[in-house]
Chain A
Amino acid sequence: MVTEENVKEWLDEVKDPEIPVLSLIDLGVITKIDIHESLVKVAMTPTFVGCPAIDYMKNDIVEVLQKHGVKEVEVDVNFEQSWNSNKITQKGRKALKEFGLAPPPKHVLIVDLDILEHVQCPNCNSTNTELKSPFGPTACRSIHHCFDCKETFEQFKPL
């Protein structure tokens, strides 16, 4: 009998195609797992509404669960419990930093965008940094510059 814990463990193998160090569990996009005998229903919610990676993630979920012997998989994408960047796990935050992407600061519901001004540099930990652009190479990233190590870096945007 498959348990919710099994499914979570397996879904930890499915990575965000744009940030391959982050699993869907780390990212916090899996909102519900329902198991009815041989059928596993997974509900997920996108990080950004226009995230082009959603279809890939859906396919990867089906593939990975089938590989572990689940006969039938249904993936439903909805906004019932909408995603925000606080849902990224501690493990996920660590993985982001090691990947060279500044993790999003935790915030209290409404994001005060001033927190984008002095983001901690993932290379040297300095906060002597500035926002270059609120838009980066993917919908979920912003671009910053560090005055101490002189590197330009990206941040996973708080939302």
Chain B
Amino acid sequence: MTNTEALKELIYKMADDQLILGHRNSEWTGFGPLLEEDIAFSSMAQDKVGQSYALYQILNDLGEGDPDTVAFMRNADQFHNSQLVELPNGEYDFSLVRHFLFDTAEAIRFQMLTNCSHEPLAQLANKIKGELRYHTMHADIWIKQLGRATEESVSKLQDSLDRLIPYAIGVFEPSPMEDQIIEDKIFEGEGKLRQQWEEAILVVKSKTPLNLPYFSLVKPV
């Protein structure tokens, strides 16, 4: 028997993160540094907002409000998103690094959720994980390219990494019902996700001269 409150808590967090970052990505529409990047951030915005809608739909089936109402009519303090996704876009390097750190985590999260005990979430995760491969592919290509291109591009990415890593680790803040979530086989937990995320980030980083802090010494935001 799944603990519905614990399940809802997890879905709210994921849906809110996707919705907010989707909106941030959409702010690049018309302003991308290259036409291809304008289109990429706009497409990822569409994917993320659509994926959040599907997650709110699962919440709706669990007795929560209608997706549009939940997405747009709540007060700020009723959102469960991480601070990482809220930060203003800044320059392109900042948005790119955030996209890299966040989507690497999301891709692993949805892969893990394909084993979720709540069948509708497992089915949706199976679908979303395929779409996210394009997001991580996009992020990895640009981090590897710009992360070893010119002195300027490397130093810009490094500055954004230094600023964003504590926020990225904040994404893995355990739910108040984390034990229940793990026990009910809803999700294997933020700790396990964080571990796999650190490994994945290091793999891409190793193709560049960029530096990362010791993750264990970082204070999450």
A-side contacts of B53, CB under 8 Å: 49-50
A80 at the interface (CB under 8 A from B): yes
CB-based contact B133/A49 at 8 Å: no
A89 at the interface (CB under 8 A from B): no
Within the complex, which residue of A49, A111, A137, A142 is in contact with B50, where a contact is CB–CB below 8 Å? A49
A108 at the interface (CB under 8 A from B): no
Within the complex, which residue of A49, A52, A113, A142 is in contact with B128, where a contact is CB–CB below 8 Å? A49
Q: Name the residue of chain B whose CB is nearest to the CB of A113.
A: B137
Within the complex, which residue of A80, A84, A137, A143 is in contact with B130, where a contact is CB–CB below 8 Å? A84
B127 at the interface (CB under 8 A from A): yes
CB-based contact A113/B133 at 8 Å: yes
Interface residues of A in 62-91 (CB under 8 A from B): 78-80, 82-84
A49 CA to B133 CA, complexed, in Å: 14
CB-based contact A79/B50 at 8 Å: no
A48 at the interface (CB under 8 A from B): yes
B-side contacts of A132, CB under 8 Å: 36
A136 at the interface (CB under 8 A from B): yes
A135 at the interface (CB under 8 A from B): yes
CB-based contact B126/A82 at 8 Å: yes
A–B complex contacts, Cβ < 8 Å, 30 sampled: A48-B131, A49-B50, A49-B53, A49-B54, A49-B128, A50-B46, A50-B47, A50-B48, A50-B49, A52-B46, A79-B124, A79-B126, A79-B127, A82-B127, A111-B130, A111-B133, A113-B133, A133-B138, A134-B134, A134-B138, A135-B36, A135-B43, A135-B44, A135-B134, A136-B39, A137-B39, A139-B47, A139-B50, A143-B39, A159-B130
CB-based contact B50/A50 at 8 Å: yes
Interface size on A, residues (CB 8 A): 24
B88 at the interface (CB under 8 A from A): no
Within the complex, which residue of B36, B49, B133 is in contact with A133, where a contact is CB–CB below 8 Å? B36
Q: How large is the interface on B (under 10, 10 to 19, 20 to 34, 35 or more residues)?
A: 20 to 34
A-side contacts of B124, CB under 8 Å: 49, 79
A-side contacts of B48, CB under 8 Å: 50
Interface residues of B in 41-91 (CB under 8 A from A): 42-44, 46-51, 53-54
Per-position 1/0 for A100-135, Cβ under 8 A of B: 000000000001010000000000000000001111
CB-based contact A159/B39 at 8 Å: no
What are the 10 tightest A-B residue pairs by CB atom distance, in nearest-first order?
A50-B50, A135-B43, A135-B40, A133-B36, A79-B123, A82-B127, A134-B134, A50-B47, A49-B50, A50-B46
B30 at the interface (CB under 8 A from A): no
- Tell me the smallest distance from the CB of A47 to a CB of chain B, in Å: 10
CB-based contact A49/B51 at 8 Å: yes
Q: Which of A50, A82, A84, A139 has the most CB of B within 10 A?
A: A50
A2 at the interface (CB under 8 A from B): no
B-side contacts of A49, CB under 8 Å: 47, 50-51, 53-54, 124, 127-128, 131
- Tell me the smallest distance from the CB of A27 to a CB of chain B, in Å: 15
A-side contacts of B191, CB under 8 Å: none
Q: Name the residue of chain A whose CB is nearest to the CB of B123.
A: A79
A157 at the interface (CB under 8 A from B): yes
- Tell me the smallest distance from the CB of A90 to a CB of chain B, in Å: 22
Per-position 1/0 for B131-154, Cβ under 8 A of A: 101100110000000000000000
Within the complex, which residue of A79, A82, A135 is in contact with B138, where a contact is CB–CB below 8 Å? A135
A-side contacts of B36, CB under 8 Å: 132-133, 135, 143
